[in-house]
Chain A
Amino acid sequence: MAYDYEKSIRPGKLPHIWCPGCGHGIVMKGLIRAMDTCGLEKNNTAIVSGIGCASRLPGYMDFNTLHTAHGRAAAFATGIKMVKPEMTVICCGGDGDGTAIGGNHFIHACRRNIDMTYVIMNNYIYGMTGGQFSPCTPTGMKASTTPYGNPDPIFDISKLAIGAGATFVARTTSFHATQIDKLIAEGIKHKGMSVIEVLDDCPTSYGRRNKFRSVVDMMKRLKEVAVPVAAAAKMTDEQLEGKVLTGVLFKEERAEYTDQYAKLIARVQGA
């Protein structure tokens, strides 16, 4: 029997705004399956986003949903989680939203190890505003503001998250659709800051400008660059050149922020 996505979608809110071939829809379906696997209760779950094509995701979802300002999802979500630690809090958004304008909130949420799951849709471009380069646009590639090729080096989002202190970090691509829900589900179950980076594609604002003839070409590229961490362990540096590691990249147990704050309250009130 086909999987029933409808039960998680708000009645009457589809069709979505995404272009044909956009990867964000694949990620949303993965998120729905993951939330379902975890048995999340709708009333007790909040989905928080910033601004951008990816950040339109919460509006379609039948949960408590908060579409904030550009880059601010993690900070809004922190307020919710502090007040209601019993709620499951999920953030989502684009690479520009999360690592450029929102980079500061992102790294500090990682540092605090606050119990949230941040799904970051990395399409290496500012899709919504028409294809300006983001901190994740590969060097040399074309964006509307890099007509001569991008001179900037990139952020590796997963490495950034690990370096900043996130305690569950995983990566996959929109080609590996069934891995998306597995990794997000694992992130939701993990207590602490979980970051799931999903490489996906923006055919409209990135693909066209960079001579990808079709969405299929873009998907093929995702398939080719992805290397599972286990396989990578057996590969040489040369073989790994230009590849992207996928799967669970980092996991550790560390004191969670709202737990620590609850203990602080108990200590103060007990004293």
Chain B
Amino acid sequence: MAKKVALLQGNSACALGAIYAGCKFFGGYPITPSTEVAEVMSEELPKVGGKFIQMEDEIGAMASVIGASLAGSKSLTATSGPGVSLKQELIGYACIAEVPCVIINVMRGGPSTGMPTGPGQSDVMQARWGTHGDHAAIAVCPESCQEIFTETVRAFNLAEKYRMPVQVLYDEIVGHMRERIVFPEPGELEIIDRAAPTCSPEEYKPYDAKSDTDVPPLAVFGSEYRFHVTGLNKAADGFPTTKANLVAFEERRQIAKVECPEARADIESNEEYLTEDAEVVIFAYGSSARSARYAVNKMRAEGIKAGLFRPITIWPFPEKRVAELGKQVNSMVVVEMNLGQMIFEVERIVKNDCKLAGVFRVDGDPINPGEIMAKVKEVL
């Protein structure tokens, strides 16, 4: 049987990806350029028995999503920069209380209202460090409508598996662009549901980690497992504690569960294009990578050994592979629609192993291949 195909906007692909992943709750607040995600969810969720609510603001939206997830629903919210700024306190809540949920950030410029209808990639550091306190972060950054679908599914899987908020960042260009999408059949993509407790209700402790990288099972409100959830530092039983050893163990575990080598290998996802023999590698993500790929093809035709490294998972940062490439190449060029954010991560990893330059743009226009090629030729 032929697969279902459609011409869809990135934001619609996101919503349909969420439904495919089993999302049953959406809490949101309208903001350009993300609003279509909410619109499609409001139409699709009731069809599958799910619930949609437009909350009074983004803070309420994030709160409702965490509440819904604790009640057992895979839950989603979608917003843009100003809305993500408002959600930050509760993103931290979902981190420390270990509540799975997915946050879509369709990026525009900023700070503040910025250019609501223009694209931007200036929230990548916010996705890492936006909420206060030490915490791990998982964020993915698709470059096409098809990939928005599959990465939204993967974001739900990662949220459920690692019991934490996962952010999907894509810019206005991919959010509003229409492309051909091939829908995966039901069952074709892996769908992960959070681990449920297997012990008796009396024995259940919501943060009972078996190791310093463990992700303990999460019970559901309304089941026979009654438990307590708080944003305070807590012990294995979920109740507040100020005992130094318990606080430190939990703080470190919640980071290690994402950053230990096994988890990194599981979470990281990169695309490499002609990097094998590359002398110059362009580091680009999201829609900027599309220009970069075009530039690589052009330069290859001119005999320049260029390649593209595209992190699809941007957090945790692909440290190992970027370090290897840094040793291999003569130069790296970081391309991003901001004034230089990811370049500092690349610099932290490659140090002085290769030359490093950036192509940055914040005027609301996408970065074009010509700019990238000019920079490559300048540094090579």
Residues on A lying within 8 angstroms of B by beta carbon are 10, 13, 42-44, 46, 48, 51, 58-59, 62-69, 72, 75-80, 82-84, 86-87, 104-105, 107-108, 261, 264-265, 268-269
9 shortest A-B CB distances, which residue pairs? A79-B67, A75-B63, A79-B64, A79-B68, A83-B71, A76-B67, A75-B60, A67-B230, A268-B46
Other-chain contact of B228, A67, A78, A86 (Cβ < 8 Å): A67
Chain B residues positioned under 8 Å from A261 (CB to CB): 51
Q: Is the interface of B mostly helix, strand, loop or mixed?
A: mixed
Other-chain contact of B221, A51, A67, A84, A107 (Cβ < 8 Å): A84
Q: B93 within 8 Å of A by Cβ?
A: yes
Minimum distance in angstroms from B66 CB to a CB of chain A:
6
Chain A residues positioned under 8 Å from B215 (CB to CB): none
Other-chain contact of A72, B51, B59, B228 (Cβ < 8 Å): B59
Give CA–CA (A69, B229) in the complex, Å.
11
Give CA–CA (A79, B223) in the complex, Å.
16
Which residue of the partner chain A has the closest CB to B43?
A: A268
Chain B residues positioned under 8 Å from A264 (CB to CB): 46
Give CA–CA (A127, B56) in the complex, Å.
27
| Contact call A84/B222, Cβ cutoff below 8 A | yes
| Contact call B63/A105, Cβ cutoff below 8 A | yes
Which residue of the partner chain A has the closest CB to B72?
A: A83
| Contact call B60/A108, Cβ cutoff below 8 A | yes
Once A43-B222, A82-B51, A105-B56 are accepted as A-B contacts, the answer to whether A76 and B63 lie under 8 Å apart by CB is: yes
| Contact call A83/B55, Cβ cutoff below 8 A | no
| Contact call B221/A79, Cβ cutoff below 8 A | no
Give CA–CA (A261, B60) in the complex, Å.
18
| Contact call A59/B222, Cβ cutoff below 8 A | no
* B-side interface size class: 35 or more
Once A46-B222, A78-B67 are accepted as A-B contacts, the answer to whether A83 and B51 lie under 8 Å apart by CB is: yes
| Contact call A59/B240, Cβ cutoff below 8 A | yes
Chain A residues positioned under 8 Å from B51 (CB to CB): 82-83, 261
Minimum distance in angstroms from A138 CB to a CB of chain B:
28
Task: Add 13 more A-B contacts to A43-B226, A64-B226 (CB < 8 A).
Answer: A43-B224, A44-B222, A48-B67, A59-B239, A66-B229, A67-B232, A68-B66, A72-B63, A75-B56, A82-B68, A83-B72, A107-B56, A269-B49
| Contact call B72/A84, Cβ cutoff below 8 A | yes
Which residue of the partner chain B has the closest CB to A48?
A: B67
| Contact call A104/B56, Cβ cutoff below 8 A | yes
| Contact call A43/B71, Cβ cutoff below 8 A | no
Chain A residues positioned under 8 Å from B69 (CB to CB): 79
Minimum distance in angstroms from B310 CB to a CB of chain A:
35
Give CA–CA (A37, B71) in the complex, Å.
25
Which residue of the partner chain A has the closest CB to B75?
A: A79
| Contact call A83/B60, Cβ cutoff below 8 A | no
